[in-house]
Structure 1
Amino acid sequence: MIEIYKSNPEESAIIKIDQPEKNCWINLTHPSGDEIGKIASELQIPADFLAAALDEEERPRLE
Structure 2
Amino acid sequence: MSSTQYHLLHLYRARQLGEPAPPAPGTHDWQVVREWRDHRQFRAAVAAGRPARVRWLRGWWRSTG
Report the TM-score, using the length of structure 1 for normalisation: 0.29
By relative contact order (CA 8 Å, sep 6+), the higher-ranking structure is 1
The structure with the greater share of residues assigned to strand is 1
User: Given the two structures, how large is their TM-score scaled by the length of structure 2?
Assistant: 0.28
Structure with a larger share of its residues in helix: 2
